[in-house]
Amino acid sequence: MLVGSQPRRVAVIGGVRIPFARAHGAYAEVGNQEMLTASLSAVVERFKLRGERLGDVIAGAVTKHSSQWNLARESLLDSGLAPETPGLDLQRACGTSIEAAILIGNKIALGQIDAGLAGGVDTISDAPAVYSREYQQLLLRSFRGRTFGERIKPWFGLRPRHFKPSFPGTGEPRTGMSMGQHAEQMARSWRIGRGEQDELALASHRNASKAWAEGFMSDLVVPYLGLKSDNNVRGDTSLEKLAKLKPSFAADGTLTAGNSTPMTDGSAAVLLASEDWARARGLPVQAWLTYGKVAAVDFVGGEGLLMAPAYAVPRMLADAGIRLQDFDFYEIHEAFAAQVLCTLKAWESPEFCRDRLGLVAPLGSIDRAKLNVKGSSVAVGHPFAATGARIVATLAKLLSQRCTGRGLISVCTAGGMGVTAIMER
């Protein structure tokens, strides 16, 4: 499988996305394919890739219609790339597009391809409405009928209940609990208070608002359907305003609409390449994707649903031979403010690090001033499969502006999984 004798370095050239929008708003009348095409097209335009045949495009969505089984390929066909460019659909819940970036990176490192796009998209506004299995089986029995009588007979069993639609939810099939309810359990287990969560949420909004005001987002986001910026960012919020919000997942809980991610529509994409491919086209390398790791936890057996990054990161640090403190930026996806705080507290815990991670000492604390410096999902929004690509593009630009440094990416996902990565400059 290896084309060369040595793995090649994986360059992150840069990424572009459309503004993230609160569900049932600006993007209420478009779907995954239109939004993903918009972000892929923006990358094509920014890096002058029109007519180029790339090695692969890997992208996906968490919530999509069955007709979108070939979403990546169909989207790239309208992006301006050469139609000979292959496309692959991928889905690892909220870690979809960071996993896509790692897979594209692996192909580049192995010499299988020279360049590729990784991306993700999700819409709550265009969620598929499906009907009960009982109704589906009725339709199939009718379809299989060979005579008119056999085709019509199943319809005599049609009942009003068959027309009640079912929409996708965020509940875990094995527990019946929503992600927010699981996060509420984690907050209680780790003793994360409401005040801590609101403070982290406030920092996310302020950092995101400042990033927009200073122009940091100007080349990372392209206008789409009249929207020019992420419409969930609240630069004018305050601890007092956040404190007035009621708990969202338990009457006596600490998670609210203010310290949790909103339901969001959006898409993002990022270009990765070999060093030679980038040099031949005069494209500056913003950063290098150097490590990736995925982990899972037994959330049914008692571990917190969103705690997998707490396991993946130390394993990745061992691969890299570095410490948790050896980073200039920490991009930790804010599924909920509580999730970030639980993860940080786990790394600081001697008991967790000894008993769960097998370490002789805790990983320790991070410098909070380096955490999500341009805001993260609580403020910006979280179109599930798009978040990883947003983070990769943001971190690549941060490292490029700094001209040196190292950044950690940590994304928790549904199903008790976590995807992590390291980027360097």
Report pLDDT digits (tens) over 156-203. 999 999 999 887 777 899 999 999 999 999 999 999 999 999 999 999
Residue 99 has a pLDDT of 98
Find the helix packing angle between 194-213 and 337-348, rounded to 10°: 110
Q: Where are the domains of the chain?
A: 179-215+289-424
Whether residue 1 has pLDDT greater than 60: no
Average pLDDT, integer, range 9-16: 98
Residue 342 is given by DSSP the state H
Distances (CA, A) of 238 to 116, 196, 206, 234: 41, 13, 9, 9
Instruction: Name the CA radius of gyration of the chain, rounded.
Output: 22
The pLDDT of residue 4 is 62
Encoded tokens for 247? 């708990």
E-state strands within 66-108: 87-89
State how far the Cα of 31 lies from the Cα of 36, in Å rounded to an integer. 9
Q: Quote the pLDDT of residue 2.
A: 61
Q: Domain 179-215+289-424 classified CATH 3.40.720.10?
A: no
How far apart (Å, rounded) are the C-alpha atoms in residues 290 and 11? 9
147-174 as b/e, with b when 16 or more CB fall inside 10 Å?
A: eeeeeeebeeeeeeeeeeeeeeebebee
- The Cα 233–Cα 236 span in angstroms is 9
Per-residue HEC secondary structure of 232-264 comes to CCCCCCCHHHHHCCCECCCCCCCCECCCECCCE
Where are any strands of DSSP class E within 18-60?
A: 21-22, 56-60
Active site residues: 94, 382, 412
Cα 97 to Cα 86: distance, rounded to the nearest angstrom: 17
Give the C-alpha separation, 284 to 2, whole Å.
Answer: 26
- pLDDT tens digits for 70-115? 999 999 999 999 999 999 999 999 999 999 999 999 999 999 999 9
Q: What mean pLDDT value characterizes the chain?
A: 96
